[in-house]
Amino acid sequence: RWSPLRESIMLTGSQLKLFAASMAIYERSMEEVYDDVRAARLLDKNNIETLEQLKQLELELGGKFPGIDLPPGTVEDIGYYLDQIYKKVGDNLKVVKSIKLALDYFGYDLRQHILPEIKLRLSLIGSTLLPAEVEMLKRQVDDRALRIEEKNTEYANAVERSLGAATGMNLIGLALAIYLGVEAENIRAERNRLYQEQEAAIEELRGKHQTLGSLSRVKHDLQGLELVAIDADIATQNLMHVWNVMHLYIQSSQDAVAKITDALRLRLFMQAFRAVASPWKQIEHDADALIAVFKEADEEYERVYGIRTRAAFAMLPSTDYPTVDTGILADSNRLMRDGAIQSRVLFIRWNYLPQLHQRFDALVLGVDNSSDVLKEVALSTRMALEGRVRRLQALDKELASALDEQDVQDIEADRAGELAQMSRCVTQSTRQLSDQLSTIRDVFDRRLSLGFVEDMEREQHRVEAGLKRLEDERAERQKARGLASDAIGLLKTGGIEAIGNDLVLTLEHMTKLGIAPPEVQLVMQAIEQLKKTLVQVGEGVRFLDLVRARDQLAGKIQALDADIDKLHSQLNALKGKVQFIRVIHGIDDERQRYVGQYQGVVAAYRSFARLIEANAYLEQEQRSLDLIHQAQRFMAFLAPLALPLALHG
């Protein structure tokens, strides 16, 4: 969408500058024609009073209207030249209006869709639970690896003992060989099951690690894209502002064209033609600014990344109008948009309070819209007042030199019309801003949501206490399991083949195995720990009891892991929901800040509207002078408000 827009802006910007330069010549030429006709007393001689009669007068116009070619065989006619000028104004307005509409859509999509979507995806990546899941899975893999190692050792020892018992070939040796063979087979089956689980878990862990790596790359790319998009948004806002100014100037010129009819008296025609030409003086100047701003915007979209100097605008307070901090308006608007993205992330994850989420989503959109309306209304009001002031000043000047009573009456009627138009313009703008203020002045009662937060925080403390209890129990069982594994290893080192199935692990038996006293002490400590941890462990603990108790502890640790993970999920949900409500409250805080400043703008408009109403009782001349002065002060108040809020941040 940017490429065709880019070409249109480049071409149209240059064309506007050229036509604006031509319009300055056309205005001077019309003034010369009017002065020549009056100087030669052709008005009285030919009884010329209206534009229609002037068009019928044959004049030498060669070279006065460059850029307008006469068709072959056409007689020079001022009416033809005027028609061509009006047509060019209308054609330029159509082109500018179509580009303005396309640029508005482009800027809206960039701000309301592209930037929020980038920030949403970044937030979703940043809030993913994948790192915690990877850590949990890694812990399970490490624990299972330990259990597989233990089963491998048990299996090897059982097979070795089975072969040793079978070599005796007596009844007892054969029975023991059969028993140990069955035990070895059970150990092998359990080991194989654990091995298959481990393979699946390792594959899952590899996949999650790859996903984490991919997410990191995506996050890096999105962060770079966000930086470019933010600068592109600011450049687009600048471009939209300058283009809106151009559009309003050309619209003003076109409106003036619409008021020209053949029945107009010559003086009124000249006044109207000046109104057609006057905006083009500013357009010629602003075309340079348009080209400069466009260059910046184009570079952003071409991703030639660079930071441009951006002016920071501060509100110049007036003694007559409330102080409005445009920085707060910009900052609050930005923070509300960021909060809306954060709340959307939390809502996607926890699906909590959908009505509240929808309400504040709509509210943020409403504030965004109110920001655009403020910018557009302030700009259109300032430019409308600028045009009215310029015309009132011209009328006052013309009135001072008027000799004809009819001209005096016409000028006073025109001045009264301009004053009435000024009043209507300000009244309409005040109503627009008041309507916007009504939509964003939404009172949110936090008592219910604060109650939700209080209940969830209380539940959070309960879950955290339960989680600590389970983690302490898990740590104790892991300690017992570790001691049991160490003890089993020491006993195997002391001669596992000499330990019978029914041999009770006493101090005397272990001493006979040649186990050193410190190691005997460790085995006895493991047995005591098992008695504390597992209630079903009796007084006489055999070697196989020790092995089974260790396996039983592994199962209990696994069950505790599942309970701990469940409580972690509950805790994350509670924290996420509390965070969602706090984000909503944060959005509401910023809304109140924003509304506080917006109210100041509406109050200023109402104050100016009351001033215009009060001045209606003055004499027209005094009223005109007073309103020119007051309008200039109000335009100074509006100047920073007419700029995109992005420039104030």
Q: How far apart are the C-alpha atoms of 435 and 429, rounded to whole Å?
A: 10
Compute the average pLDDT of residues 102-116: 67
Which residues does 332 contact at the CB level (< 8 Å), separation at least 6? Answer: 367, 590, 591, 593, 594, 597
Compute the average pLDDT of residues 101-130: 66
Tokens of 301: 């979209």
Do the beta carbons of residue 543 and residue 504 sit within 8 Å? no
pLDDT range class, residue 637, cuts 50, 70, 90: very high
pLDDT range class, residue 579, cuts 50, 70, 90: very high
Compute the average pLDDT of residues 340-362: 90
User: Quick one: pLDDT at residue 136?
Assistant: 73
Instruction: Let me know if 312 is exposed, middle or buried by CB neighbors in 10 A (0-12, 13-18, 19+).
Output: exposed
Q: How far apart are the C-alpha atoms of 244 and 100, rounded to whole Å?
A: 7
User: Quick one: pLDDT at residue 234?
Assistant: 59
Higher pLDDT: 143 or 281? It is: 143
> Residue 50: what are its φ and ψ, rounded to 5°?
-120, 165
Amino acid at 6: R
> Residue 542: what are its φ and ψ, rounded to 5°?
-95, 170
Q: Per the domain annotation, does 60 fall within a domain?
A: yes
Residue 115 has pLDDT above 60, yes or no: yes
Q: pLDDT digit string (tens) for 405-431? A: 777 787 888 888 888 888 889 999 999
Which residues does 581 contact at the CB level (< 8 Å), separation at least 6? Answer: 353, 449, 452, 453
Q: How far apart are the C-alpha atoms of 14 and 273, rounded to whole Å?
A: 24
Q: Per the domain annotation, does 290 fall within a domain?
A: yes
Q: Per the domain annotation, does 275 fall within a domain?
A: yes
User: Quick one: pLDDT at residue 441?
Assistant: 86
Q: Is the pTM of this model over 0.75?
A: no
Q: Per the domain annotation, does 583 fall within a domain?
A: no
Q: How far apart are the C-alpha atoms of 524 and 484, rounded to whole Å?
A: 10
> Residue 265: what are its φ and ψ, rounded to 5°?
-65, 150
Look at residues 536, 560, 584 and tell me which one is the last residue of a structural domain: 560
pLDDT range class, residue 309, cuts 50, 70, 90: very low
List, as one string, the DSSP characters of 479-541.
HHHHHHHHHHHHHHHTTGGG--TT-B--HHHHHHTT--HHHHHHHHHHHHHHHHH-TT--SS-
Question: If you average pLDDT over every residue of the chain, what do you get?
Answer: 72
User: Quick one: pLDDT at residue 202?
Assistant: 75
Least confident residue range of 55-64, 282-291, 429-438, 465-474: 55-64
Place of tokens 């080991």: 191
8-state DSSP, 617: T
> Residue 403: what are its φ and ψ, rounded to 5°?
-110, -30
Overall domain count for the chain: 2
Q: Per the domain annotation, does 363 fall within a domain?
A: no
Compute the average pLDDT of residues 188-208: 76
| Number of CB atoms found within 10 A of residue 232's CB | 23
Q: Per the domain annotation, does 214 fall within a domain?
A: no
Using CA atoms, how far residue 418 sits from 391, 623, 636, in Å, is 8, 12, 20
Instruction: Let me know if 188 is exposed, middle or buried by CB neighbors in 10 A (0-12, 13-18, 19+).
Output: middle
Counting DSSP H helices and E strands in the chain, the numbers are: 16, 0
Which residues make beta-bridge pairs with 542? 504
Residue 501 has pLDDT above 70, yes or no: no
Tokens of 50: 């209206």
Compute the average pLDDT of residues 568-588: 93
Look at residues 263, 298, 313 and tell me which one is the last residue of a structural domain: 313
pLDDT range class, residue 310, cuts 50, 70, 90: very low
CB neighbour burial string for 404-423, b if at least 16 within 10 angstroms, e if fewer: eeebeebbbebbeebbeebb
Compute the average pLDDT of residues 89-111: 69
Which residues does 434 contact at the CB level (< 8 Å), separation at least 6? Answer: 602, 606
User: Quick one: pLDDT at residue 336?
Assistant: 92
Higher pLDDT: 518 or 123? It is: 518
Closest CA relative to residue 480, chosen from 556, 412, 404, 428: 556
Q: Per the domain annotation, does 241 fall within a domain?
A: yes
Q: How far apart are the C-alpha atoms of 380 and 378, rounded to whole Å?
A: 6
Residue 203 has pLDDT above 60, yes or no: yes
User: Quick one: pLDDT at residue 406?
Assistant: 76
Compute the average pLDDT of residues 205-211: 66
User: Quick one: pLDDT at residue 417?
Assistant: 85
Closest CA relative to residue 645, chosen from 331, 434, 243: 331
Place of tokens 């948009």: 337
> Residue 262: what are its φ and ψ, rounded to 5°?
-65, -20
SS3 247: helix
Which residues does 347 contact at the CB level (< 8 Å), separation at least 6? Answer: 353, 354, 357, 580
Q: Per the domain annotation, does 492 fall within a domain?
A: yes
Residue 465 has pLDDT above 90, yes or no: yes
Tokens of 303: 């991703």
Q: How far apart are the C-alpha atoms of 435 and 439, rounded to whole Å?
A: 7
Q: How far apart are the C-alpha atoms of 27 and 270, rounded to whole Å?
A: 9
Query: Considering the chain, what percentage of its residues have pLDDT values greater than 90?
Result: 14
Do the beta carbons of residue 208 and residue 58 sit within 8 Å? no
Look at residues 560, 580, 602 and tell me which one is the last residue of a structural domain: 560
Residue 63 has pLDDT above 50, yes or no: no
Closest CA relative to residue 648, chosen from 244, 326, 420, 419: 326
Range of the domain at 552: 478-560
The distance from CA 595 to its chain's CA centroid, rounded to whole angstroms, is 20
| Number of CB atoms found within 10 A of residue 248's CB | 22
User: Quick one: pLDDT at residue 470?
Assistant: 92
Q: pLDDT digit string (tens) for 503-549? A: 666 666 666 666 667 777 777 777 777 666 654 555 666 777 777 77
SS3 648: coil
Residue 562 has pLDDT above 60, yes or no: yes
Q: How far apart are the C-alpha atoms of 608 and 614, rounded to whole Å?
A: 10
Query: Considering the chain, what percentage of its residues have pLDDT values greater than 70?
Result: 51
Q: pLDDT digit string (tens) for 259-302? A: 666 554 555 666 666 666 676 666 666 656 555 555 555 555 55
Compute the average pLDDT of residues 2-22: 56
Which ranges in 130-170 belong to alpha helices (H)?
130-166
Q: How far apart are the C-alpha atoms of 283 and 276, rounded to whole Å?
A: 12
Tokens of 567: 């409580």
